[in-house]
């Protein structure tokens, strides 16, 4: 039980730290990294549950979910990074804040 608690606590901490990072960083790449930390937290939470079934064998369903989740996250990350690079190419910046100037022109 303690193991589960430790890892679950770590997981929620990671999620919160990731959220914090997501919120404070104006820079796109740091936002995306923070999102990946959040994802890591969510995955760790699921896996700590998988471990905690009492039986010697680990619950396969959360593991399968996390495998799926990892693929989804890497796809999303790659897509977001591609967008960020394109924005950099177009505007020379890598921030979300220059929006107003653009919409007016």
Partner 1 sequence: MPVGAPPERYGNITVPELLILIPFTGAILCFLFPEVLRRLTGLLSAALIFSNSAILTRSIFQDGARRLHLGGWTEPLGIGMSIDGLSILFILLTAVVGLLVSIYSASFFSAAQEQVLARHFWPLWLFLWGALNSLFFVSDIFNAYVVMELVGISAAALAALSGTSASLTAALRYFLLTMAGSMAFLLGVGFIYARTGLLDMYLVGTVADGGPLMAMALGLMTVALIMKTALFPFHFWLPPAHGEAPAPVSAILSGLVIKGSFYLLLRIWFTVFQNSTVTTHAAALIGLLGLIAVIWGSYQAIIQTRLKLIIAYSSIGQVGYLFLLFPLIFMTPDPAWKTEAWTACIFQAISHGLAKAALFLAAGNLIQASGTDDLRSMRNIADKLPMTTFTLALAGVSLMGLPPSGGFVAKWMLLQSILASGQWWLAAAPILGGLLTAAYVFKILSQSFVSDDKKSCCGNVSFVMEKSALLLALFSILIGFRANEVIFLLSEPVFFIIPGGQSP
Partner 2 sequence: MDLVFDLIIGLSLAGVSWRIVRAREHFQAIVLFITFGLLLSLAWTRLKSPDIAIAEAAVGAGLAGVLLMDTLGALSSPRERAKVVISLKLLIPCLFLAGLMAYSILYIPEDFQGLGIVVREALPQTHLEYPITAVLLDFRGYDTWLELGVLLVAVLGVLCIRRTDNIKGTMLPAPAEPVGSWIVKLLLPLMVLIGGYLLWLGAFAPGGAFQGGVVLASAGVMLWQSGHPSLGLMPRLWWKILLCSGFLSFLILAFSSLFYTDQLLTHPATKTWILGVEYAATLSIALCLISLVLGSPARNHENKGV
Site mask for partner 2 (CB under 8 A), range 41-60, x = bound: --xx--xxxxxxxxx-xxxx
Cβ closer to partner 1: 3 or 79? 79
DSSP 95: B
Element housing 88 (H / E): helix 60-91
Rule CB under 8 A: say whether 91 interacts with partner 1: yes
Binding test (CB under 8 A) with partner 2, winner from 27, 91, 96, 98: 27
| 20: its two tokens | 């914090």
3-state helix, strand, coil in the chain (%, to 5): 80, 0, 15
CA 39 – CA 59 distance, rounded (Å): 20
What is the contact surface with partner 1 in residues (CB under 8 A)?
8, 11-12, 15, 18-19, 22, 28, 31-32, 35, 38-39, 41-42, 45-46, 49, 61-62, 65, 68-69, 72, 75-76, 79-80, 83-84, 86-87, 90-91, 96, 98-99, 102-103
């Amino acid at each position: 039980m303690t193991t589960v608690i430790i890892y679950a606590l770590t997981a929620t901490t990671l999620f919160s730290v990731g959220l914090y990072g997501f919120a404070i960083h104006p820079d796109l790449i740091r936002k995306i990294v923070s999102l990946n930390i959040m994802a890591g937290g969510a995955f760790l939470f699921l896996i700590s549950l998988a471990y905690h079934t009492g039986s010697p064998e680990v619950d396969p369903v959360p593991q399968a979910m996390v495998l799926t989740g990892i693929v989804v996250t890497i796809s999303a990350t790659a897509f977001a990074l591609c967008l960020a690079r394109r924005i950099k190419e177009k505007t020379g910046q890598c921030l979300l804040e220059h929006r107003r100037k653009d919409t007016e022109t």
